[in-house]
Every structure is written in structure tokens, then in C-alpha cells.
A and B are shown apart, each in its own frame.
Chain A
Amino acid sequence: MTSSSGRPRVLVAIPVFNEERTVARVVQAVRTSTPRFDLVMVNDGSSDRTEAILRDLHVTTVTHLCNLGYGRALQTAIRYARAGGYDALITLDADGQHRPEDIERLYTDFDAGDFDVLIGSRFVEQRRYDDVPLTRRLGMRLFSAIVGVLTGQVIYDTSSGLKIMHRRVFDALAERPFVHFHAEVLTYLIASGYKVTERPVVVDERHFGASMYSWLGAIEYAPKVAFLTLLGFVEAHLRKGRA
């Protein structure tokens, strides 16, 4: 489905949870850099002034009545895009670390390459994780290796929040259980035969707010995502076997 002008309909979705200090700047930057794309904010049950700020910005907002987590917020965005008949969905984080000016360039690559998922990657160019704290670096190496072993394709930045998805993957993702839309989803998609790739982007330092991973969350993250990654791999092969 395309718009009446014949151009693909593209939705930019930004999950947001308690980002009152950055959300206005991010919305304005996205509006300025990609005026031809629709924008929706997925407010994941914020308890600060985020919702009021979004209302003042007159931006379309999908509000969860309670906090469901990052993965579920992304899933809501996918369902919204599917229900709205969009051709592609672009997701980015609301913490101001992504540069909205990267979106247009990434989308041009995405459109030209006929990809199913394109990841805005911090590491695909240098192929090293030198600037990342040690524990995070270990996690990134681990999940990059797991995806590589299971699918034969190395993804250097499995946890990037900047992604572009074609509507071909909407059905596959709208109903699947996933936690963070990281290695577990990428493995499932690649093993299912979808075309996933990375393109370099610059990610700025986080100036406000806290990371979504508390120390307990970080401990939980590895086994959960590893388990789901393995499961996604098995699921993809079972589906292929049945088809």
C-alpha cells in the first residue's frame, strides 16, 4: 500500500518513558529532518511530564495505561503501523542519542536495497566496541557472536534502537514474544529468510535520564535474551519445515 501520491507511507515511531527532558527536542528534530514521514510517540506509561509535553507539541501519541517495557512499546508501534497500512516503520530512541538527520539517509539505503530490516549501527564501520563500557562490550560481543553462529550473519549492533522495518515483517513481529527487539528478534528474522542489514550511524552521549537497564535488569537481560534468541532460531526452522 502506498499513499495517493504513489510514494511509500512511512511512520516514525518513538517509544518514550519518562523522557521529559529530551522528548521535545527529539520530536522537533524529527519533524524538521523528516517532514514527509508521519510521526507517532508511544508513551509507555510515563509518570513524569512526558505526556503533557507531547500534548503541547500536538504530536500523535499512543499511550499505554501502564508501563509495559521497551519491547512491548515497540510492538505497539508495529501494530499501529500495521493497522494504519504503513509501508515502513522507523523506530528510534527518545533519549536524544540518535541523530534524526541520519533517518533520511538510512531510509534511502533501505528503499534502494529492498531490505526487510535495516539497523542504524554504531559499530558496523569500525567493527570494534572500544568506546563502550566493559560489561556492555562483553554483552555486545556475546550477542553478536550468538547471532553469527546461529544465522551465519554477523550483526555488530544487536541493541540499536534505530531501525527501519518493511511492512513484510509486521505480521511476523506483531504477535511474537520478544523482550527488547534485540538479538532475539534479529535471529528469528534472519533465520526465517528476511533480509537484515546494518548501516553506520553516529550515536551521541546520553545527557539526561537513566538507561533503561538497572543493574538487576542488566543481569536479567543476558539469560532472557539468550533464551529467546535460541527459541527464535528453533521457531524459524520449525516454521520453515512446516511451510
Chain B
Amino acid sequence: MLTPTAASIDLIAAAAIVWLFTLVRRDRLYVGYSVILVAVIVLGAVVLSVAPILRAVNTLGGVVTAAPGLILLTLAFLVLMVVYLLTQVTLLANRLTRLVQELAIRNASTTVPEADGITRR
């Protein structure tokens, strides 16, 4: 049975995945980063919304008190900052790629041996 809290977590996770999907579609986020972020979000949502898994993780991690809301907000903020930084890195990488490709095409070269035996570029 899905509790209201778990449903909210899943909704937020789904919205985050759609957002990442849109960023990749617009070529604002490199697909390799998005795959990792989506995996982290899905894993986080599953752990937080399925009580037995959360209990198991807490037991494994030796957690004695529940994490206050402030920590969750901090984590959400950190994820947002990481996404922002990665979009900036992606933008720069895309510009660099475009530059390298354009330079390559403009400087396409052939060395042709002419009839007089002198090779010209």
C-alpha cells in the first residue's frame, strides 16, 4: 500500500526524471550524466518510499534516528546544484565539440602529388 508520503516522493522523482529527460532532449545535459542521475533518483525513491527497504538500509547503515527534513532539503539542493553544474559542463563540451568539428571541416586537407612531382596541399 502506497502511503501519501511515498506517493509524494515517487511523484517528485518522476518529475525530476522528466526534467532530466527534457534536458537531454534539448542537448543541455550529456546522456552519460543523466543516466547516473536517473539511476540515483530511482534508487533514492525506491529506498524512501518502500518502508522495509528503508528500514533495511537504516539497519545496515547503523542509523539510530530518522533524518530530519532539513537534511532531505539539503540533499535535494545538492542534487539540483549537481544538475546545474553538469548542464554547464555539457554546454561547454558541446561548444568545444562544435568548434573542433567546424575547424576539422574547414581545414580538410589533401596532399596531391602533381605532374611536376611537387606535392601540394
Where the two chains meet, the residues of A that have a C-beta atom closer than 8 Å to any C-beta of B are 40, 42, 55, 58-66, 68, 72, 75-76, 79-80, 83, 177, 179, 220, 223-224, 227-228, 231, 234-235
A146 to chain B, nearest CB (A): 15
CA–CA, A72 and B35, complex, Å: 19
How many A-B contacts if CB must be within 8 Å? 68
| Min C-beta distance of B17 to chain A, whole Å | 10
Give the contacting residue for B110; candidates A59, A65, A224; CB below 8 A.
A59
Q: A227-B31, A231-B21 in contact; A40/B108 too (CB < 8 A)?
A: yes
CB distance from A106 to the nearest CB of B (A): 25
Q: Is the CB of B31 within 8 A of A224?
A: yes
Proximity string of chain B (89-121) to chain A, C-beta cutoff 8 Å, 1 when within and 0 when not: 000000001001101110111111100000100
Taking A58-B113, A220-B32 as contacts, is the C-beta distance between A63 and B101 under 8 angstroms?
A: no
Using a CB–CB cutoff of 8 Å, the interface residues on chain B facing chain A are 21, 24-25, 27, 31-32, 34-35, 38-39, 97, 100-101, 103-105, 107-113, 119
A80 adjacent to B105 (CB under 8 Å): yes
Quick one: which of A62, A72, A224 has the most chain B CB within 10 A?
A62
B83 CB → nearest A CB, Å: 15
